[in-house]
């Protein structure tokens, strides 16, 4: 197996991408006092809509640029409570010119960040038209219980609405690598369906920002950033935290990454399951592409609906499996009670209930120094060594791994039957354990470029560049079993508690 460098935590994951101190050029940014509406910071391109430089309007009251009605509405919003992503439509009046604005407000105790974009006098479509269109799509989603179909339907709808050259659905694994599970592309874009991209492509601090922001739009990677003035925010005495802001400028390394993919515009839409980032819908366009506020609001809505439907399907599958596992666990406890001891209850079970419960191919149990087995297990000598290693670890709770040789090197000799193990302590003090085994599953990973060359470092050890090739790179993984699922781990832990109680209730010999 290749030894992948973990740039996700070592380098990329430490970059302060929320403090870029500049914004993209498709909008403007002002920071005002929440109490007084005094302008305290802003982007240098604000001159385009006010006719005045940011240096000249610092200290002015933002209400001076609004009508009396708009100023009163804004004041009311600011006095409600602390909220983020609050839309506000108004007209900016400056030097005899009126400009219709869409503002996204991030209201804090002392200051409020205003993300500002110019907009049309009236929305292109009425709310009822948009609602009916999205509701029709939601109805289609609700009639599907197939995860693959839901993902495919979702990217088709987003492509239809947005017109992007390519849409891909990425699903994260337990190590935050993202695999393309659905794709719709055209033109010069390459197909990445089935390929996996290393976690460093969406490092941990970028993933954290998707918890706050449903989408991320980059209309043109060749944009000219607009800096904030003053550089130091007078409220925080540091760089302004732009975590919640859509306009936040992009790290140079990501713009280079887009260039290497031959992409000029992109948008990413989050998919959340139980409060955790499950995946991303990634939209790419060969040329520059701007989406208006109305359309982005639709995608924000779709992000919630797609996340909800995927969550519902996953939860339904888990409930179905949980019910089946509960029934199997009940059979195991009945067998143990019927036989009067743990060993006979498990070994003499013709239904192999423990193996079915944990999706294992064999298990070994040691009670009072005696080893008994069922199913496919390593040879007795290797079992004895493994039990000695287990006793030395003094596990108090369930232990599991799908790559035993990482922790116990001798396991390489029996990887065909025991690449993965789950240890269930019956009594750590008396060194009584059950070890369940899973065989090696050799798998091939189709990487989008060599994951060991995800980034190349400059000689200074600080600057770096993303890989410039996304050519298919195959990796064959040995010595691993299928991973243990959370439901299986929880079932094993529940069984452990039962067996501990059962053992303690038995009369001592």
Predicted local distance difference test score (pLDDT) of residue 443:
83
Q: How far apart are CA 396 and CA 173, in angstroms?
A: 28
Class at the top of the CATH hierarchy for domain 22-118: alpha beta
Q: How far apart are CA 55 and CA 42, in angstroms?
A: 9
Element (DSSP H or E) covering residue 233: none
Q: Looking at the chain, how many residues does it have?
A: 509
Predicted local distance difference test score (pLDDT) of residue 477:
85
Predicted local distance difference test score (pLDDT) of residue 363:
96
Q: How far apart are CA 363 and CA 321, in angstroms?
A: 22
Predicted local distance difference test score (pLDDT) of residue 106:
96
> If phi over 0 gives left and psi between -120 and 50 gives alpha, with beta otherwise, what is residue 216?
beta
Helices 293-339 and 147-162 pack at an angle, to 10 degrees, of: 170
Predicted local distance difference test score (pLDDT) of residue 65:
96
pLDDT in tens, 146-203: 999 999 999 999 999 999 999 999 999 988 999 999 999 998 899 999 999 998 888 8
Supply 94's token pair.
């400056």
Element (DSSP H or E) covering residue 134: helix 127-142
Predicted local distance difference test score (pLDDT) of residue 440:
94
Predicted local distance difference test score (pLDDT) of residue 508:
61
Distance of alpha carbon 468 from the chain centroid: 24
pLDDT in tens, 64-100: 999 999 999 999 999 988 888 899 999 999 988 899 9
Predicted local distance difference test score (pLDDT) of residue 4:
46
| C-alpha Rg value of the chain to the nearest Å | 29
Torsion of CA 484, 486, 487, 490, to 10 degrees: 100
Predicted local distance difference test score (pLDDT) of residue 457:
56
Predicted local distance difference test score (pLDDT) of residue 170:
95
Supply 429's token pair.
């003090």
Predicted local distance difference test score (pLDDT) of residue 9:
47
Domains 22-118 and 340-442+480-505 share a fold: yes
Predicted local distance difference test score (pLDDT) of residue 121:
60
Predicted local distance difference test score (pLDDT) of residue 13:
46
Q: What is the largest CA-CA distance in the chain?
A: 97
Predicted local distance difference test score (pLDDT) of residue 3:
44
Burial category of 128 from C-beta neighbours within 10 Å (exposed 0-12, middle 13-18, buried 19 and up): exposed
230 upstream amide cis, omega within 30 of 0: yes
Q: How far apart are CA 100 and CA 117, in angstroms?
A: 9
Predicted local distance difference test score (pLDDT) of residue 451:
76
Where are the chain's structural domains? Answer: 22-118, 340-442+480-505
Predicted local distance difference test score (pLDDT) of residue 475:
83
CA–CA distance from 194 to each of 250, 450, 505 (Å)? Answer: 27, 15, 52
Predicted local distance difference test score (pLDDT) of residue 11:
46
Residue 11 CB coordination number (10 Å): 17
DSSP lists the bridge partners of residue 277 as 272
Residues of the chain below pLDDT 50? 1-5, 7, 9-13
Predicted local distance difference test score (pLDDT) of residue 495:
94
DSSP lists the bridge partners of residue 238 as 233
Class at the top of the CATH hierarchy for domain 340-442+480-505: alpha beta
């Amino acid at each position: 197996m290749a030894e992948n460098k973990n740039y996700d935590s070592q380098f990329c994951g430490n970059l302060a991408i929320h403090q870029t101190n500049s914004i993209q050029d498709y909008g403007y940014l002002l920071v005002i006092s929440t109490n007084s509406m005094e302008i305290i910071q802003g982007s240098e391109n604000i001159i385009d809509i006010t006719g005045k430089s940011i240096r000249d309007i610092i200290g002015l009251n933002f209400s001076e640029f609004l009508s009396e009605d708009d100023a009163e509405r804004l004041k009311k919003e600011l006095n409600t409570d602390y909220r983020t992503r609050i839309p506000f439509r108004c007209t900016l009046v400056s030097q005899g010119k009126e400009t219709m604005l869409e503002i996204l407000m991030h209201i804090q105790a002392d200051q409020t960040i205003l993300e500002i974009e110019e907009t049309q006098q009236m929305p292109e479509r009425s709310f009822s038209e948009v609602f009916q269109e999205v509701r029709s799509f939601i109805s289609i989603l609700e009639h599907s219980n197939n995860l693959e179909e839901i993902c495919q339907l979702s990217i088709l709808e987003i492509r239809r609405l947005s017109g992007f050259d390519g849409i891909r659905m990425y699903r994260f694994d337990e190590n935050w690598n993202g695999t393309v599970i659905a794709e719709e592309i055209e033109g010069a874009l390459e197909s990445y369906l089935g390929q996996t991209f290393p976690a460093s492509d969406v490092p941990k601090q970028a993933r954290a920002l998707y918890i706050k922001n449903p989408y991320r739009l980059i209309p043109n990677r060749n944009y000219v950033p607009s800096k904030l003035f003053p550089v130091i925010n007078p409220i925080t005495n540091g760089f302004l935290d732009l975590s919640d802001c859509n306009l936040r400028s992009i790290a140079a390394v990501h713009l280079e990454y887009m260039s290497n993919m031959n992409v000029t515009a992109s948008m990413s839409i989050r998919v959340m399951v139980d409060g955790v980032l499950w995946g991303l819908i990634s939209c790419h366009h060969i040329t520059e592409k701007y989406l208006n506020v109305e359309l982005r609001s639709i995608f924000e809505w779709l992000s919630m609906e797609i996340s909800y439907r995927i969550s519902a399907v996953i939860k339904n599958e888990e409930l179905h499996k949980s019910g089946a596992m509960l029934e199997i666990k009940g059979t195991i406890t009945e067998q143990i009670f019927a036989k009067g001891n743990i060993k006979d209850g498990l070994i003499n079970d013709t239904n192999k209930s423990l193996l079915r419960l944990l999706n294992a191919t064999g298990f070994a149990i040691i009670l009072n120094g005696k080893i008994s087995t069922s199913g496919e297990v390593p040879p007795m000598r290797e079992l004895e060594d493994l039990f000695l290693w287990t006793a030395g670890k003094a596990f108090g709770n369930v232990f599991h791994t799908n790559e035993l040789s990482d922790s116990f090197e001798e396991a390489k000799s029996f990887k065909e039957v025991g690449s993965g193990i789950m240890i269930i302590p019956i009594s750590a003090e008396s060194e009584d354990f059950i070890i369940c085994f899973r065989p090696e599953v050799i798998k091939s990973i189709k990487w989008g470029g060599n994951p060991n060359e995800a980034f190349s470092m400059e000689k200074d050890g600080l600057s770096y560049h993303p890989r410039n090739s996304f050519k298919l790179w195959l990796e064959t993984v040995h010595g691993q079993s299928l991973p243990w699922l959370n439901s299986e781990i929880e079932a094993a832990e529940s069984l452990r508690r039962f067996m501990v109680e059962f053992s303690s209730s038995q009369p001592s010999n």
